[in-house]
Amino acid sequence: MTASKPKTASQFVSNNDSLRRTQNNTMTKRPRGPINKRACQRCRSGKIKCDGDAEHNKSCSNCDPESCIFDTSPRKNKQVEHLKQRLGHLEEQLESIVQGVNDQLTIQELKIEILSLLIDLKELFDGSENVFRELKKLTMQGNCVQQLLIFIRELLQRISKEQDRIHEIIDSLRKVILCAEEVNKDPSSLSQLQAMPLNIVKM
């Protein structure tokens, strides 16, 4: 087994110089922030990642504060505005989707309530079985509008409370059925529902 040769003084000096340079580079290097979508002019020309902040005029770690310049040309500003507008449209679409889901949940709840009322009040439709069948069919349709379902529920609830006016209320339910048929034929007639609470529900 051969003994290792002792290091010379020049080798120690060389190793210390390399270690010192590495430490100096580590100490002087600025930490990187998050990558910015809008690079400064120097980073963009050099095709390097830029972590500056154009909106808050904060220089990146690749430049001195004096030399870190962002492009503020109208073209760039228009691109930013266009992106903001697209984001706004996406937020509106998301809100519309959420509202649509909430409306569907409300419609399903109305349908369940109406079918339950029909089961409880079936005997009171003696002589008006066709109205009962049409109401059940209308309630189970997938395209029945929410306003019609609200009218049907309101009238069914009145039957149980005002049995002395059953025939009058059933006539009003017939009107709702006819209105639903008109809406199926011509969706534009849906606007006429705004007058229905005065003509049908408030008897």
Query: Has residue 99 got a pLDDT over 80?
Result: no
In terms of C-beta density within 10 A (0-12 exposed, 13-18 middle, 19 or more buried), how is residue 167 classed?
exposed
Q: Most distant CA pair in the chain: distance in Å?
A: 119
State the residue for tokens 């909430």: 102
Judge contact between 156 and 121, C-beta under 8 A: yes
Q: Count of domains in the chain?
A: 1
**pLDDT band for position 8 (cuts 50, 70, 90):** low
- Does residue 118 lie within any of the structural domains? yes
Sign of CA dihedral 7, 12, 14, 16: positive
94 found inside a domain: no
**Is 195 part of any domain?**
yes
| Closest alpha carbon to 201 in 149, 164, 127 | 149
Classify residue 158: in a domain, yes or no: yes
In a domain, 22, yes or no: no
Report how far residue 96's alpha carbon sits from residue 136's, in angstroms, rounded to the nearest whole number: 30
Establish if 34 belongs to a structural domain. Answer: no
With contact defined as beta carbons under 8 Å apart, do 128 and 170 qualify?
Answer: yes
pLDDT tens digits along 125-152: 988 999 999 999 988 887 777 888 888 8
Task: Report the percent of the chain where pLDDT is more than 90.
Answer: 10
Give the mean pLDDT of the chain: 73
pLDDT for the residue 181: 83
Which backbone phi and psi does 5 adopt, to 5 degrees? -75, 140
Instruction: Compute the distance between CA of residue 17 and CA of residue 7 in angstroms, rounded to an integer.
Output: 15
Are the C-beta atoms of 114 and 159 separated by less than 8 Å?
A: no
pLDDT band at 116 (very low <50, low <70, confident <90, very high): very high
Distance CA 46, CA 52 (A): 15
Number of Cβ within a 10 Å radius of residue 174: 14
Give the pLDDT confidence score for residue 120 in this predicted structure: 92
Q: Which range in 65-74, 79-88, 121-130, 140-149 is most confidently predicted, on average pLDDT?
A: 121-130
Report if residue 153 sits inside a domain: yes
What amino acid is encoded at 91 in this protein? E
- Domain span holding position 187: 103-201
Low-confidence winner among 75-84, 97-106, 190-199 (lowest mean pLDDT): 190-199
Looking at per-residue pLDDT, the higher value among 79 and 171 belongs to 171
Q: Is the pLDDT of residue 5 over 90?
A: no
15 domain-assigned: no
pLDDT, greater one: 132 or 87? 132
- Whether 91 has a pLDDT exceeding 90, the answer reads no
Distance separating alpha carbons of residues 30 and 14, to the nearest angstrom: 27
Find which of 22-36, 57-71, 122-136, 174-188 is predicted with most confidence, using mean pLDDT: 122-136
